[in-house]
Amino acid sequence: MTKQQLPHFEATRRRLLTTGLALGGLGLAGCAGTRATGPSIGRVVVVGGGFGGATAAHYLRLWGGNVDVTLVERNPQFVSCPISNLVVGGYKQMADITRGYDSLKALGVKVVQGDVTAIDAGAKKVRLASGAQLDYDRLIVSPGIDFMNEQIGGLASAFDSGKLVHAWKAGPQTVALRKQLMDMPDGGVYAISIPKVPYRCPPGPYERACMVAAYFKEAKPRSKVLVLDANPEIQSKKALFERAFAQHYKGILEYRPNAELKEVAGNLAKLEFEDVKADVLNVVPPQRAADLARAAGLININSRWVGVNWLTMESTAQPGVHVLGDATFSAPAMPKSGHMANQHAKVAAAAVIQLLQGEAVSATPVVMNTCYSFVTAKDVIHVASVHQFDAGEKTFKTVPGSGGVSAAASQIEGRYALSWADNIWSDMLG
């Protein structure tokens, strides 16, 4: 046994010594025990029913047995950001990316529709907009992102007017963007503004540009797609997206690097040295951890992100509060993706159960990412990575020689992408 493994063994031994009698009395029936009856080991409140929060609630019930799990989500149904660009392009419907919470309820998760307005980490309570309060022993927050609209002139009021959409949270804005594209006359220009990294879903904006270009190619062949990227180059799957732009969308799609949006005025996107007129302007704003994270005092890195202990996903700012997904300050080369939030959730669920039982947490977590992007309605590319915990640096690091991107776009990966969505939605929602 190495030194590194010792603390866990010691804690396990201690627990076995103190609970050995009860365990012995259970006999092998204890093995069945993922949903055993008996006294609750604790109350866990999960805030946010997306890729991170729903997965956490599911796995707490799957692994924790008699743990009380309450999931608070503001929307009545889950709408997936992954695959939503196919709705924008007209290749999928909203129903295809919408799932309910009934299976989680059947697994014993209490699902509360509501908005959490405050977290009191000292008193271990969350308050809802309805006035209700929930007590917890451990809190898991998967709040997602909100936008830094103040960084771009005129952006907040343009969003308020309802004419400009980001569609960077799947839902009504996805529908609104699709409608704008359908209403646009042939010969028009769709422009998408991409913020500097880090932002949610690095390949997402390039995939969206492909989906809109695919739609124009079929339905409005005189129209153009303009990609205004604040970054100096494509931020994910660069060579593959460049190939797709050239192969499928030559003369339709124009990519401009270092094109940071400064101001929005009507249909004008104002850049540093020029104004660009767009019939449909789609701004993906700069992002930070969501408002709830800010209100709860969880944001402690660069005034934007939540620092976490990667062994437990517990916030480094507020004890007892575990934070998942895009809101976290990412480990090196770790993308802000739904898949990664799903992986964060499993690390958190395992750790929370161990902490509730007074056990040492697992010392060697692993997370991995798979991200598929559609470059046509059927051809897909991927990026994948595996991240092992590094005990010395106390962070996740990618494994040298692992991970990578597709050799080329393919239809078989198109089928895998849709199957990935089907599987991960079930892995989250039961």
Partner 1 sequence: MQTLISALALAAACAPGLASAQDPNLARNLAATCASCHGTNGQARGEMKTLAGVPADKIISMVAAYKSGALPATIMHQIARGYTDEQIRLVAAFFAAQPVKK
Query: Which residues contact partner 1 by CB under 8 A?
Result: 1, 5, 8-9, 12-13, 16-17, 19-21, 23-24, 26-28, 30-31, 58-59, 62-63, 339, 342-343, 346-347, 350, 354, 362-368, 370, 382, 384-388, 398-399, 401-404, 406-407, 410, 412-413, 415-416, 418-420, 422-424, 426-427, 430
The H or E element spanning position 204 is helix 204-219
In the structure encoding, which two tokens stand for residue 294, read together?
Answer: 């800010």
Q: Are 335 and 329 in contact (CB under 8 A)?
A: no
CB 358, min distance to partner 1, A = 15
- CA angle 318/331/193 to nearest 5° reads 100
Interacting residues of 128 by C-beta distance below 8 A, sequence separation 6+: 72, 112, 114, 115, 116, 117, 134
Q: Which amino acid is residue 80, in one-letter code?
A: S
Which CB, 107 or 148, lies closer to partner 1?
107
CB 204, min distance to partner 1, A = 18
For the chain, the 3-state helix, strand and coil shares in percent, each to the nearest 5, are: 35, 25, 40
Which CB, 11 or 197, lies closer to partner 1?
11
CB 405, min distance to partner 1, A = 8
Which CB, 8 or 294, lies closer to partner 1?
8
Q: Is 45 exposed, middle or buried (0-12, 13-18, 19+ CB in 10 A)?
A: buried
CB 19, min distance to partner 1, A = 7
Q: Which amino acid is residue 258, in one-letter code?
A: N
Which CB, 133 or 419, lies closer to partner 1?
419
User: Which neighbouring-strand residues pair with 188?
Assistant: none
Which CB, 75 or 364, lies closer to partner 1?
364
CB 330, min distance to partner 1, A = 17
CB 180, min distance to partner 1, A = 32
The H or E element spanning position 246 is helix 238-248
Given its phi and psi angles, is residue 40 left (phi above 0), alpha (psi -120 to 50 degrees) or beta? beta
Which CB, 179 or 415, lies closer to partner 1?
415
